[in-house]
Structure 1
Amino acid sequence: MTRKKRQMRRIPTMRPTKPFQQKQLKQITASSEWFEEPSLTFGGGSMHVDPKVGIPLYGPASVGTSRHKTEVHAGFIGTGEGIQKAMRFYETCCDGLDGDDQHAPFPGCKIDRGYRFTLKMDDSFNEKITQTELGDLLKIRDSKQRFDATLELLTEKLRLMTQEHDHPLNYVVLVVPPEMFKECRVADYHEKGVGMVHRDLRRAFKARAMQYNTATQIIQESTLNVEASSRELDHLSERAWNLFNGLYFKVDGLPWGPADLPASSCFVGVSFYRPLGQASTLRTSLVQAFDENGEGLVLRGHNFNWDEQKQGKTPHLTEDLAAQLIDDVLEQYEKLRHQRPTRIVVHKTSRFDPDETRGFQRSLRRVSQCDLVALRPTSEIRLIRAGSYPPLRGTSFTLGDVSFLYTTGYIPFLGRFPQGHVPSPLELADHIGDTPRSQLLKEALALTKMNWNSARMYGLMPITVRFARLVGDILREVPENITPHPKYKFYV
């Protein structure tokens, strides 16, 4: 026998395999439903789905109440040219503006129309930024020093307007000159022990304005152009709607309220931010939205350490901090409403980990019902609708045990799809609590309409989590030894 044959004999034979066993895949159930556009309440308790119809017809929700001001005094900070331009713009808006096929006309703002108040403006109310002051700022080479000098100049102008002038002001508009916007709007610098620090003039000025108890509006000069400009602008009537809706809210008016949120419910949005100059410290920021009118309060949570490299990018509260957060919410609610809520819904964009859940539930035992809800945008799954338009806003669908909600999309009342991009749904990523999912989604849809810094009838995120995140951007500029103002009109 040859060596080759001997080698071949050593090759093991293949063992017979077991018959192929087919796995039975679990069938995924799917369902969908559509929620009607939530109604809003306006003057006299009248209802409509769209602020741009409800306000011209009925007036804002607080008209005829002690919250409504029939006269609003507005002052301006800016260059002489910028102030004059801004005052003319506001005057033009007060008279009313035409719309077009895509934009509702602005009804104006006088005692008998629109937001039903008279806007008082006078040059004696204003504080000018001189060309010398502006030139001195622009000469500063270091971005941090230039930013700090700009903030100090604007804060001093605000102090003079609110404390030295004889005219009490309800509302202050900062008209940012183009040179200041370009060179002083942000500062990025390296700080020892912290790393790169980013600061934004809008956030810093808002934080400073709180100490003078003054609501502010920040506008670029280019936003005040009546005609089209090189910078892409919203339609003139759209700019007027947004400015005056924000103005009315900032002078303590209530533009509209939600019609269908359950009574004695308290909706809480939770977010996290890093205090200025802190490398590994986080704090929680909260926005509470109450039941009858959706009005909110801002609370600053407690510091806690979070190491992203060791613990991950998504921060979570310890059990004790989560419990303390709810204790603070209940304390503030009872202080203002003189009663305890019967139901609390906590909104977050990240899932609840076991420690957070135990802490929240520990304090929430004091209320009858509670829900922990994680809502986050997702582009991983979408519905495809037959026809030319995307899914309707208000469409909900469920795959297995995961639910989704379209808060943007085609709006039947408008007869169009106003966003201009392919809409993505929100995912109900986590839910621990007592309320049916369909009700939670309906409430989330209603809370997307509570952004009073705009007059739009729709939004992507519920105001709870949307403003909690924006509030955190401003809270990081508030020093630790200063208690931030609880009203979120100072944050928008």
Structure 2
Amino acid sequence: MTTSTTGTMMKADPRLLATAPRNLPTLARPTLGARWLPEPSLRFAGDAEHLDPKVGIPLHGPRSFGTGRHPAEIHVGFVGTAEAVDRAQRFLAQAAGGVDGDTQHHPFPGCEPGEGFRSDLRLDDDLVERITTREMHALLDITKTRERFERALALLDEKMALLQDRDHPLDCVFIVIPEALFKACRSVKYRQNGQLVERDLRRAFKAMAMRYRIPTQFLRESTTGLTDTRRQMDHPSEIAWNLFTGLYFKAGGLPWSPADITPGTCFIGVSFFRPMGSDKTLRTSVVQAFDENGDGLVLRGHDFRWDEARDGRSPHLPEDLAADLVRMVLDRYRKERKQTPRRVVVHKSSLFTGPERAGFQDGLDQVAEHDLVCLAPRSDVRLMRQGQYPPLRGTTFALGDDSYLYATGYIPALGYYPQGHVPTPLLVADHVGDTPHDRLLREILLLTKMNWNSAEYAEALPITLRFSRLVGAVLREVPADQEPATKYSYYM
């Protein structure tokens, strides 16, 4: 169904009316109302505000600059072949001095004590574990894909263990993947106990490496731009922005924070993942974003049975597990913040069933205010706009009883539409709670700007749902008897 704000009503053909059946029910014409919500601001050093992190950071510095959380030095380690590590170090050192932009890309201001992220990047040779030529050849000579995949993981594990034992500050480890290794080991499929198992090297490594409590960053050697590759890549300034934003956060810094979140609010994103090798068991992955800074915390929920053939494609929690899940989140919040949140907002991508809603509300009985909100991208309803650009980001419209929000679209502050595909709105459905509708929509827009794994102006989904999905892909690799790390930096 397509809705147009500029269309005209077509008159019915009299010949069709003459032959039309009588006594048909009269259908009410759905009402349509569209509005635009202003772009929310982000907060940077010194409480300065701006709409765009790629302007706010060069002008004012990252949010934690001037506080005890700011990393004055960022010590980076490396795992990779000698040539791959050398290229990565040259690339990072050059980017730390700044990267030129163009008409469509902001320049990257660098990562130096007086510029950009205001940190001193330290690339210490003592923090390098090289994959030798012999180790590389032995790995690539393995013909069985599963054995080769698992041996690659074991080799990276060995190198991480050696780096951890160094008596040296270490904030992040770059795993520099040569193209030959990436192509041979990037993923694997095999059957185990009759079940199809699909694994991804990056996700499997993240799950394995989190026990070292050192954040990591995968970097393909070709991304440095110093190899002879035909791979199509982003603009160099875009690559630098994304890498250094993530690196600054992994080193403990806070790139930016939301400027207008009600104090005492805890956002919870709920998603589901299937443990590796299981066909009918699901678990929940939960991400919290606290009000002051938007930091993400990861929690793994309980197992529960879900059979798609019997229960449908969209999973739903039983009432008791929904209540337990929320209580687990609140317990963690109290440990971190030494207080109970005044308000809790739960984001989920599927409608709440009656028992599920009752369970969440039961678990939130000690919280003054709460909201349960279903958010789902929809491509069957579009708002058309005159001219060459799609609707503005922040456009909200109601079609009958349904409410929609464009989290992507034309951005007036940028003067163009940054995505290459036709934007789809978010259906804001099944809201139960205490917050006025417009305030919920403004918060959703703000949470689409909180992805510290890049420096994009905004994303299609709020960080609550985006994080929970990405985290679930890593959590499926974490053994059931291993407690997963709670800091999101280990999953990025």
TM-score range, shorter chain: over 0.9
Match of 1:346 in 2: 346
For residue 107 of structure 2, what is the amino acid of its counterpart?
A: P
Give SS of 1:286's match: strand
Asked if residue 381 in structure 1 is aligned to residue 381 in structure 2, the reply is yes
Asked if residue 265 in structure 1 is aligned to residue 265 in structure 2, the reply is yes
Whether the 8 Å contact between 1:226 and 1:236 is mirrored in structure 2 is no
Whether the 8 Å contact between 2:87 and 2:226 is mirrored in structure 1 is no
Residue 329 of structure 1, CA deviation: 0.9
Alignment of 1:292-331 (within 5 A): 292-331=292-331
CA distance in 2, matches of 1:429, 1:188: 37
Asked if residue 192 in structure 1 is aligned to residue 196 in structure 2, the reply is no
Residue 293 of structure 1, CA deviation: 1.1
Give SS of 2:149's match: helix
Partner deviation per Cα, 1:292-327 (whole Å, 9 max, x = no partner): 111111000001111111111111100000000010
Give SS of 2:339's match: coil
Alignment of 1:13-412 (within 5 A): 20-163=22-165, 165-193=166-194, 195-225=195-225, 229-412=229-412
Partner deviation per Cα, 1:168-212 (whole Å, 9 max, x = no partner): 21110000111110111111001124x110011101111111111
CA distance in 2, matches of 1:112, 1:416: 31
Partner deviation per Cα, 1:430-481 (whole Å, 9 max, x = no partner): 2111212221111111000000000111100000011101101101111111
CA distance in 2, matches of 1:166, 1:365: 48
Give SS of 1:105's match: coil
Residue 24 of structure 1, CA deviation: 2.4
For residue 160 of structure 1, what is the amino acid of its counterpart?
A: L
Residue 22 of structure 1, CA deviation: 4.4
CA distance in 2, matches of 1:308, 1:103: 44
Structure 1: 5+ residue runs without aligned partners?
1-18
Residue 20 of structure 1, CA deviation: 2.5
Match of 1:491 in 2: 491
Whether the 8 Å contact between 1:320 and 1:359 is mirrored in structure 2 is yes
Q: What root-mean-square deviation, in Å, do the aligned CA atoms of Structure 1 and Structure 2 show?
A: 1.2
For residue 89 of structure 1, what is the amino acid of its counterpart?
A: F
Match of 2:413 in 1: 413
Give SS of 1:268's match: strand
Whether the 8 Å contact between 2:196 and 2:277 is mirrored in structure 1 is no
Partner deviation per Cα, 1:21-67 (whole Å, 9 max, x = no partner): 24322231211111111100000100000001000010000011111
For residue 180 of structure 1, what is the amino acid of its counterpart?
A: L
For residue 116 of structure 1, what is the amino acid of its counterpart?
A: R
Whether the 8 Å contact between 1:397 and 1:404 is mirrored in structure 2 is yes
Whether the 8 Å contact between 2:221 and 2:227 is mirrored in structure 1 is no
CA distance in 2, matches of 1:174, 1:146: 17
Residue 277 of structure 1, CA deviation: 2.3
Partner deviation per Cα, 1:338-389 (whole Å, 9 max, x = no partner): 1111111100111111110110011112111111111011110111111111
Match of 1:454 in 2: 454
CA distance in 2, matches of 1:378, 1:411: 20
For residue 375 of structure 2, what is the amino acid of its counterpart?
A: L
Residue 254 of structure 1, CA deviation: 0.4
CA distance in 2, matches of 1:183, 1:229: 17
Match of 1:12 in 2: none
Match of 2:474 in 1: 474
Give SS of 2:470's match: helix
* Count of residues paired in the alignment: 472
Give SS of 2:287's match: strand
Q: TM-score, normalised by structure 1?
A: 0.94
Q: TM-score, normalised by structure 2?
A: 0.94
Larger Rg: 1
Whether the 8 Å contact between 1:162 and 1:168 is mirrored in structure 2 is no
For residue 127 of structure 1, what is the amino acid of its counterpart?
A: E
Give SS of 2:85's match: helix
Structure 2: 5+ residue runs without aligned partners?
1-20
Whether the 8 Å contact between 2:449 and 2:458 is mirrored in structure 1 is yes
Give SS of 1:234's match: coil
CA distance in 1, matches of 2:168, 2:22: 87
